[in-house]
A and B are shown apart, each in its own frame.
Chain A
Amino acid sequence: MKKTVFQRRLDRFIFFFASACLILLPLLLLISEIGDEQPLIQGEIISPSGRTDTLQTFPNAYVVGPGQIRIKESSTKMKYLAPRAIIDPMYALLFFISAIIVVVFFWNFSYKNPFTKKALFGLQIGCAILLIFFVANFFRNQWFDEQVRHITNDQFIYDRPSPLASPEFWILLVLVRLMMIFRKGVRLQKEADLTI
C-alpha cells in the first residue's frame, strides 16, 4: 500500500522526535550527574574481609550503602569517569554517539532496500566505537578499583564486572555479525544491480 504524503511526514516526524530524545536525554542526565558536587558512585563496592556494615566514613569518601560510595571532593577525572548511580557518563556518551550514528547513517534506511553502502559504513563505525568503548571500559574499571582501594585504605574494593558479561560485549558481537551480513548483502546487491 502506498503511503500518503501525510503518513510519510508523520513517519519522518516520529523518527526525528525519537532521535532528538535519544540525543538530548543522555546529554541532560550527563550534565546533571557531572554537576553533582559530591557524586554518588554506584558500583560493586565490596569489602574483601567480608564486612557487611555500611555507612563508613573515610577522609575522602563515605560508604553509604551496599555497593555505593559518595566521594567528598572528586577530581575532574573521577567526575567524568567513575561509574554512577543514575547514569554512567561513559555509557551516556556511548548512547549519545550511537544516537548520532543512527540519525546520520540510517535516516533514509529502507526495509525494501536495506543493503546500502551508507548503512554498512554506519555499522562499521558503530562496531569500531563499541570496540573502543569496550577496551576503555575495561581500563576504566581497573582504574576505579585502584581509586576505591586508595580512598578506603584498602578496606573496600571495586568488584569489577567481567568484561564478557557486559552488555556492550554482546551488542558488539551482534553488530559484528550484522556487519558481516550487510557486507555480503551490499556485495550481492551490487551484483544484482550489474546483472543485465
Chain B
Amino acid sequence: MPIVVNLDVMLAKRKMSLTELSEKIGISIANLSILKSGKGKAIRFSTLESICKVLDCQPGDILEYMSTTDYNKLMRFG
C-alpha cells in the first residue's frame, strides 16, 4: 500500500521515544510498532488525533502518499 507512515521521523524531530509516546497516548508499544513499521492496515481517527496532539503536528506529517514505483523502490532499498 503506497501510504508511508513517517512516525519515526516525527518522533526524531520531537526527540521523543516510542515508549514515551505510547505512555502519553495510551496505545501499546506493540501496536505503535506495527504502525511505525507500516504493517498496519488502518488507523483510527482517534489514534491519529492523539498522535497529532502529543507530537504537535498535522496528519499529513505522519502519513504520506507515495506513487507505487517510489513505494516499491523504498521497500526494496529500505
Contact = CB atoms under 8 A, between A and B. Distances in A.
Interface of A: 190-191, 194-196
Interface stretch (B8-16, B27-35, B69-77): B27-35
A194 B44 CA distance: 11
Contacts of B31: 196
Given A194-B40, A195-B42, A195-B43, 12 more contacts: A191-B41, A191-B42, A194-B34, A194-B41, A194-B42, A195-B40, A196-B31, A196-B34, A196-B35, A196-B42, A196-B43, A196-B44
A45 B34 CA distance: 65
Interface residues of B, number: 12
Contacts of A194: 34, 39-42
23 contacts: A190-B41, A191-B41, A191-B42, A194-B34, A194-B39, A194-B40, A194-B41, A194-B42, A195-B40, A195-B41, A195-B42, A195-B43, A195-B44, A196-B27, A196-B31, A196-B32, A196-B34, A196-B35, A196-B40, A196-B42, A196-B43, A196-B44, A196-B47
Looking at B27, B34, B41, which has the most chain A CB atoms within 10 Å of its CB?
B41
A195 B31 CA distance: 9
Nearest to B41: A194
A42 to B, nearest CB: 55
Interface string B29-58: 001101100011111100100000000000
A152 to B, nearest CB: 65
B35 to A, nearest CB: 5
Contacts of A190: 41
Contacts of B32: 196
Looking at B27, B39, B40, which has the most chain A CB atoms within 10 Å of its CB?
B40
